[in-house]
Amino acid sequence: MSQVNLKKEDGIAVISIEKPEALNALSRTIIDEMDDYIEAIKNDDNVRCIIFYSEKNFAAGADIKDMAECSEEEARKFSFSPTYNKIAEVPIPTIAAIEGYALGGGMELAMAADIRIAGENAKMGFPEVTLGIFPGGGGTIRVPRIVGEAFAKELIFTGDVVTAERAFQMGLVNRVVKEEQVYDEAIKLAKRIAARGPLAIRMAKEIIRQGLDEPDQNKGIDIESEQWCKLFNTYDQREGMRAFIEKRKPVFKNR
């Protein structure tokens, strides 16, 4: 039986893990199923935002029982990085909505998303070093970019699990909401994003990604200018600006 669920409504796709007995610990099969869903969604013009949300616990990390006896070669196959890279690069905005534990590979999934919302009860961290490994699903690369080198090192070297409030102070999550409001807040935010120009958002996401990888700021700005001008060839740019002038809401078509 599948342990990953996909629900699509009003242009919003919600991907959930359903393995409550192990606090949604991530097996290779779960990651493969998630990968298949992302592959299916990424070219769906009707999907304007993707939410990762699982009830009670976001995910307590990779499934340690599946990993414990891996050889080096098996660890390579077990690695979640290809799927998390796909999630980070999917041309649709993504939100991680975190209830309960988001640890290790679970937290790395959240870090691959664009925006993170946490409930007051969330407990987050990278306990890998307590197991004799370090975060290997993009954690050592994405966390410093999100919270800066010093906080990333503190989190990764100690393996400490932090509260939502502390995570917010570090910049690990965008906002903290009441535990029972995590899902609704994520949907509200996704709807706001879904109402905006989808092509512009897709391009902005890609340019932000390229800009973070580009050490020469002027080159980054050149890429931005080039892509920005291209938007003036699109239906959505005409529609957005005409709607403003005509004092009505725009109807974007993603083209």
Interface residues toward ligand CAA, by CB under 6 A: 22-23, 25, 60-65, 80, 101, 103-105, 108, 127-128, 131, 135-137
- What is the smallest separation between the CB atom of 75 and ligand CAA, expressed in angstroms? 9
Among residues 33, 74, 99, 128, the one annotated as catalytic is: 128
> Structure tokens of 240?
């957005």
128 is annotated as an active-site residue: yes
CA–CA distance, 88 with 82 (Å, rounded to integer) = 10
Annotate 8-37 with three-state secondary structure.
Answer: EECCEEEEEECCHHHCCCECHHHHHHHHHH
HSE of 26, CA atoms in CB hemisphere, 13 A: 31
Beta carbon nearer to ligand CAA, 123 or 205: 123
> Within 13 Å and on the Cβ side, how many CA atoms surround 130?
12
Give the C-alpha separation, 31 to 172, whole Å: 23
Beta carbon of residue 172, minimum distance to ligand CAA (angstroms, whole number): 16
Q: How far apart are the first and last CA of the chain?
A: 38
154 an active-site residue? no
Given the complex with ligand CAA, which of 22 and 195 has the nearer CB atom?
22
Which tokens belong to 51?
């939410």
CB nearer to ligand CAA: pick between 48 and 142: 142
Based on its alpha-carbon atoms, the radius of gyration of the chain, rounded to whole angstroms, reads 19
Shortest Cβ 174–ligand CAA spacing (Å): 22
Using the minimum distance from each CB to ligand CAA, give the nearer residue, 117 or 122: 122
| Nearest distance, CB of residue 107 and ligand CAA, angstroms | 8
Report d(CA 92, CA 194) in Å as an integer. Answer: 10
In terms of phi and psi (left: phi > 0; alpha: psi -120 to 50; beta: otherwise), the region of 26 is beta
DSSP for residue 128: G
Catalytic residue among 18, 108, 179, 185: 108
Length of the chain measured in residues: 255
CB closer to ligand CAA, 25 vs 176: 25
Give the catalytic positions in this structure.
108, 128
